[in-house]
Amino acid sequence: MTYYLGIDFGTSGARGVVIDGEEKICWEFQYPFAASGDWVAVWRKALFSILEQIPLEIKEEMRAIALNGTSSTVLLCDRAGNPLDAPILYNDDRAINELETLKKIAPSHPIVLSATSSLAKLFWWYRQPIYSQAVYFLHQADWLAFLLHGQLGISDYHNALKLGYDVEELNYPAWLQKLPISPLLPQVFSPGTPVGTVTPEISFRFGLSKKCCVCTGTTDSIAAFLASGATQPGEAVTSLGSTLVLKLLSSTKIDNAKYGIYSHRLGNLWLVGGASNTGGAVLRHFFSDAELARLSQQIDPQIESPLDYYPLLKKGERFPLNDPELEPRIEPQPDNPVEFLHGLLESLARIETQGYQLLQQFGATPLYRVYTAGGGAKNEIWTALRQRYLNVPVLASSYTEAAYGTALLAARSHDELEKRGRK
Ligand code: ADP
């Protein structure tokens, strides 16, 4: 037997998933953590606890490990890889004042022009006294992988997208290479590239095979996409969580700053994404999860609701409509809660369809099949209703755990390496 491990570091915990050579889950473990003043210690403990929990017979046959972190969660490290400061988390916008400078330096690179981008965070650190001791700037997944393979200054092009790495040319653009922060930029590889075997200390401490390699990682949302089972151009994943997020696999790359659309590279394809402010948070505002399940059963998904809403919790929308002043439209509200929910679900389905239409209008590969993830995925009535609008098969994702997607990354890259080795 051969085994592959994917570890997902999310916002409230870490999860490890081990798959076998047939991509079936054979072990999984969740390690919850609470917000902490010492994230570095928490993450290290979570990683090592997961490795400790895996049964020894699996660890002896472990071939590859990959990790994913939250996008734009970053660390500043010294020569030995020790963090010099607390990590800056994905949603930390302390770098807001760096935007003016960034806009002048990178006007045509909208992806980095956000207070939470990795590059804005690096700029912020550059102005702090601690920067003089810095040798490496790493993403969460890069640093966690370093704890296993011992190599520093290495990242992947999913994590490095918001650092300004050019995923089309596969290099850092000239404007970035000229900046004084450039010596700290990590070397970037494809996600899932084997970097090296686990260090002898890690192998000995946890009983991991000495042959087990550690690969470059990815981000949590791409890992969740990989888990879905979508692999072909035209296949998409809609995430029906608190917000509505669309990701469409396309042969063409689409970037549109106005609508917040950007593309991640996935081998020779592009993962084109857009995120709306509508979604499950509005449903939760009016209904409990139990009510959603019960009331949905009373809706006939083949009958069109006469209600036309634009459900938002506060004004402003980016995708598929770009209007910062757009007011929520949730009127009229019928007395019958089933009719009201029908109107909400149908309006969300309309916005989802509009989103995919916009991506295709900008040149993305036509929609062919939609997988669904997130809390709304279990609602079969909603699925049927969405199918009526989307006009393509709508399925639940095979797996939704990011850790599973990351385990697939480890398994597939390892298989590729073996194949190359045999040639
Ligand atoms: P998050 O984005 O916060 O991780 P989840 O993926 O956990 O969200 O999904 C939570 C959302 O799913 C909630 O906003 C809730 O309204 C919605 N939800 C839960 N159950 C149902 C259901 N049966 N039908 C539709 N939506 C649901």
Contact residues for 361 (Cβ-Cβ < 8 A; gap 6+): none
| Closest-lying ligand 1 atom to the alpha carbon of residue 373 | 6
In terms of Cβ atoms closer than 10 Å to its own Cβ (0-12, 13-18, 19+), residue 279 is: buried
The residue nearest atom 14 of ligand 1, judged by CA position, is 280
Residue nearest to atom 3 of ligand 1 (CA): 242
Give me the residues of the chain with pLDDT under 50, please: none
Give the count of beta carbons closer than 10 Å to the beta carbon of residue 37: 7
Substitution candidate for ligand 1 out of 379, 394, 400 with most atoms within 8 A of CB: 379
- Give the position, in ligand 1's atom list, of the atom nearest the Cα of 378: 23
Q: Quote helix, strand, coil % in the chain, to nearest 5.
A: 40, 25, 40
Ligand 1 nearest atom to the CA of residue 293, by list position: 23
Closest Cα to atom 12 of ligand 1: 375
Distance 114 CA to ligand 1 centre (A): 27
Q: Whole-model pTM?
A: 0.92
Q: Which two tokens stand for residue 183?
A: 């010596």
Structure tokens at 242: 């608190």
End-to-end CA distance of the chain: 22
Helix (H, G, I), strand (E, B) or coil at 416: helix
- What's the pLDDT at 108? 83
Distance of CA 298 to the CA centre of its chain: 34
Residue 272 Cα to ligand 1 middle (Å): 23
Distance 378 CA to ligand 1 centre (A): 9
Considering only CA atoms, which residue is closest to atom 20 of ligand 1? 289
Estimate to the nearest angstrom the gap between the alpha carbon of 92 and the chain centroid: 17
Between helix 337-361 and helix 289-296 the angle, nearest 10°, is 90
Residue 183 burial (C-beta neighbours within 10 Å; 0-12, 13-18, 19+): exposed
Nearest residue (by CA) to ligand 1, atom 21, is 376
ipTM: 0.97
Q: What's the CA-to-centroid distance between 292 and ligand 1, angstroms?
A: 9
Identify the pLDDT of residue 111.
Answer: 92
In the numeric block, which tokens belong to residue 385? 């209703």
Contact 312, 326 (CB under 8 A): yes
pLDDT of residue 119: 98
User: Which of 244, 245, 265 has the alpha carbon at shortest distance from 254?
Assistant: 265
> Which protein residue's CA is at the shortest distance from atom 1 of ligand 1?
241
Q: Is 54 helix (H, G, I), strand (E, B) or coil?
A: coil
Q: Which residues line ligand 1 (CB under 6 A)?
A: 241-242, 280-281, 283-284, 289, 292-293, 296, 374-376, 378-379, 382
Residue with CA closest to ligand 1 atom 4 = 241
Nearest CA among 273, 321, 257 for reference residue 103 = 257
